[in-house]
Amino acid sequence: MGQCLTEYMADKTNGLPMDLGLEGIVVLDKDCSVLYEKRWVDDYPRDIYSNTKSFTSAAIGMAIHEGYLDLKDKPTDFFGDNHRTYDGSWEKMTLSDLLTMRSGILGPQLMYFDRRAGIGARDYVAHMMSQVMAFAPGEKYAYSTGDSILAGCMLEKACRTSLLSFLYDRYFEPMGIEYPIWETDLCGHTCGGSGLCLRLVDMAKLGVLYLNKGVAGGRRLFSASWAQESFHAHVQTNNSFFSWTYGYYWKGSKDSRVVRASGSFGQDTLVFPSLGLVLGMQCRPGTNASHCMYGIIKDYLDNL
| CATH number for the domain that contains residue 155 | 3.40.710.10
pLDDT score recorded for residue 227: 97
Decide if 106 contacts 195 (C-beta within 8 A).
no
Indicate whether 58 and 167 sit together in one domain: yes
In this structure, are residues 105 and 97 in contact, taking their beta carbons and an 8 Å threshold? no
Instruction: Tell me which residue range forms the domain holding 264.
Output: 1-44+200-304
pLDDT digits 0-9 by tens, 82-135? 766 666 889 999 999 999 999 999 999 999 999 999 999 999 999 999 999 999
Q: Comparing 14 with 134, which gets the higher pLDDT?
A: 134
pLDDT band at 26 (very low <50, low <70, confident <90, very high): very high
Say how many CA atoms lie within 13 Å of 165 toward its Cβ: 11
Choose one of 175, 198, 221: the last residue of a domain.
198
User: Can you give the pLDDT at residue 83?
Assistant: 67
For residues 9 and 138, membership in a common domain is answered with no
pLDDT in tens, 182-212: 999 999 999 999 999 999 999 999 999 999 9
Task: Give yes or no: residues 138 and 22 share one domain.
Answer: no
Domain shared by 116 and 186, yes or no: yes
Residues 6 or more apart in contact with residue 88 via CB below 8 angstroms? none
Residues 236 and 99: their CA atoms lie apart, in Å, by 14
Q: Write down which residue in 141, 176, 198 finishes a domain.
A: 198
Q: What confidence score (pLDDT) does residue 4 get? A: 64
User: Would you say residue 243 has pLDDT above 90?
Assistant: no
Q: Determine the pLDDT at residue 288.
A: 62
What is the distance between the alpha carbons of residues 201 and 186, in angstroms, rounded to a whole number? 30
